Structure 1
Amino acid sequence: MSEEGAPSADRYLYGIVLADAELPTGPDGVQGNALTLVESGAVAAVVTDLVDPEILGTPEALQNHSVVLDELADKQPVLPLAFGTVVPGDTDIAGDVLAPQADVFAEALDQLAGCTQFTLRISFDRDAILREVVRSNPEVAELRERISGTSEDETRNERIRLGEIVVKTMESWRATEAPPILERIRTVAAETAIREVGQAEDVAEMAVLVRKDALEEFDSVIEGFAEANQERMRFRLVGPQAPYDFVPEM
């Protein structure tokens, strides 16, 4: 309760859960304040008081936001809200935010029940790929020979040409090697979402929604690909996470 006459603190929203959700025992929110549930029928919003909005500009706040959501998702379905979702202190969260879409929220949570998200990032080992390109492309071998023992200024053109060949080769190999891997992963996933890659050595980045009763098979598939491609690819699996990529449209 705020003091009489004093304005209520703004409140920070993390996500939507079922009304009987179990709150995490880890970090207490973006500002160290205790997490609470604001309920409306079968659903609830996970909130904290936000005394100092400037805290939202810090990396620690973003990390705590993610930790809260990931810990919530470890125990029950959650609809994550974007980092920085704040409502004025006098907002009726139950009546104005939750109630109008309570049935939609409940249905979306039901769709996510029993699932968790992982993010898979696959990249080429640049040194290994360069060795492959040198063995298969005489021009690359020649360029490497010219560059050896020279400064960047002396062989700038050769270095640019070498980089172009390596990048185009990785892009070509990505186009043929990524699809079979991703297609196999889809067979053990409830849902997948492909993300755009940013670097030449990136093979693929994929968000994967996995049923918890299929986690063992999912892990086995990833481990199998990582072992089979350990000479030239790196597989990085992040999770379990809140289902950031699979919140149904509402």
Structure 2
Amino acid sequence: MTATDTDQYVYGIVRTGTPTPPVAGVDDEPVDVLTAGDLAVLVSPVVDAGEIGTPENLLAHSRVLDQVAAGDAVLPMAFGTVVPDADVLVEDILPRLHDDYLERLHRIEGATQFTVRARYVEDAVLAEVIWENPNIARLRESTVGTTEEESYNERIELGRSVSDAIGRKAEEDARALSERLTPLSRDLVIRERTSAEDVAEIVALVDRNAQADFERAVESLAAESAGRIIFRLLGPQAPYDFVGEV
């Protein structure tokens, strides 16, 4: 595809010759490529840039990038990136950043991203911390049969103690999970916990030839932790966490 005067929605940077994904893009528009030497950019036409930021379009953006990442290296652009002048993209931006983009593509060549989300079964982890911490058991017992007003201080201390205990347990479990997955990953990142029940959200850059082994390892972890930790595996995904800001 040659550059046009039409606004272009930009998904990501790839090597020239990368197959166009067989899925609809943002606003159900077909995905195509603009090429500049040995680099190319995945795009689709934009009718109304003001209507881009919908949940459906976010899913379409991710779907296009994940489809490409399943077989080829791609540098994902941020959701909502629109270029009003495609000539600038092809004739200025890609040539100017050519070496940087090629280096980043080389860094992720042959690999894709997986995200492992591990979350405690609430009743199970609560039972563990009560069993392991006599002070928590005592505080819990002291609130039984009382109103919130009568045992306000004890309830505050109980909540804080439980949260701290689960946090320590999550650190230990996250470390154990990462130790199991690190040998199967080219690179690995542990994101910050966002809720009390979170064990870990581990993002791994996995060689495609190790993908099956990685998936089996997550399945084994889930089986070993059944009833205690729930696992969710997402991927293959575009390598958002391993290419920096594009």
Q: Distance in 2 between matches of 1:249 and 1:187?
A: 27
Q: Is 2:221 aligned against 1:225?
A: yes
Q: Does 1:168 align with 2:164?
A: yes
Of 97-106 and 113-122, deviating more is 97-106
Q: Does the 8 A contact of 1:41 with 1:102 survive in 2?
A: no
What CA distance in whole angstroms lies between the structure 2 residues aligned with 1:201 and 1:249?
A: 30
With 151-160 and 203-212 compared, the bigger mean Cα shift is at 151-160
Give the counterpart letter for 2:133 in structure 1: N
Q: 2:183 aligns with which of 183, 187, 192?
A: 187
Q: Does 1:88 align with 2:84?
A: yes
- 1:244 and 1:235 map into 2 onto residues whose CA distance is 21
Deviation at 1:152, TM superposition (A): 4.1
- Corresponding residue of 1:15: 12
The answer to whether the Cα contact below 8 Å between 1:30 and 1:55 also exists between their aligned partners in 2 is no
**1:30 to partner: Cα distance:** 1.3
Q: Does structure 1 residue 234 correspond to structure 2 residue 234?
A: no
SS at match of 1:92: helix
Aligned: 1:202 with 2:203: no
Deviation at 1:208, TM superposition (A): 0.3
8 Å CA contact 1:19, 1:41 repeated in 2: yes
The aligned amino acid for 1:16 is I
Tell me what 2:64 maps to: 68
C-alpha change, 1:19 and 1:178, in structure 2 (3 Å) is: same
How far residue 73 of structure 1 moved from its aligned partner, in angstroms, is 1.1
What is the total number of aligned residue pairs between the two structures? 243
Note if contact 1:17-1:79 (Cα within 8 Å) is conserved in structure 2: yes
Measured after TM superposition, the shift of residue 158 of structure 1 is: 3.3
Change in 2 beyond 3 A, CA 1:10/1:124: same
Q: Are the aligned partners of 1:40 and 1:102 in contact in 2 as well (CA < 8 Å)?
A: no
In the alignment, structure 2 segments of 5+ residues that lack a partner are none
Q: Is the 8 A contact 1:22 1:75 kept in 2?
A: no
Map of 1:26 onto structure 2? 23
User: Could you tell me whether the CA contact under 8 Å between 1:78 and 1:109 is conserved in 2?
Assistant: yes
In structure 2, how many angstroms separate the alpha carbons of the residues matched to 1:223 and 1:90?
A: 45
Give RMSD over aligned pairs.
2.2
Please report the TM-score for the alignment, with normalisation by the length of structure 2: 0.89
The one-letter code matched in structure 2 to 1:13 is V
* Alpha-carbon distance, 1:105 to partner: 2.1
Report the Cα offset of residue 238 of structure 1.
Answer: 1.1
SS of 1:218's equivalent in the other structure is helix
Aligned partner (choices 24, 31, 35) of residue 39 of structure 1: 35
Deviation at 1:90, TM superposition (A): 5.7
The one of 116, 122, 127 aligned to 2:118: 122
Q: CA deviation at 1:92?
A: 2.7
1:216 aligns with 2:183: no
Q: For the structure 1 residues 8 and 171, does the alpha-carbon distance in structure 2 shift closer, same or farther, using more than 3 Å as the test? A: same
Contact 2:74 2:105 in 1 (8 A): yes
TM-score, L = length of structure 1: 0.88
Counterpart in 2 of 1:3? none
Query: 1:95/1:228 Cα in 2 relative to 1: closer, same or farther (>3 Å)?
Result: same
Q: Secondary structure of 1:8's match?
A: coil
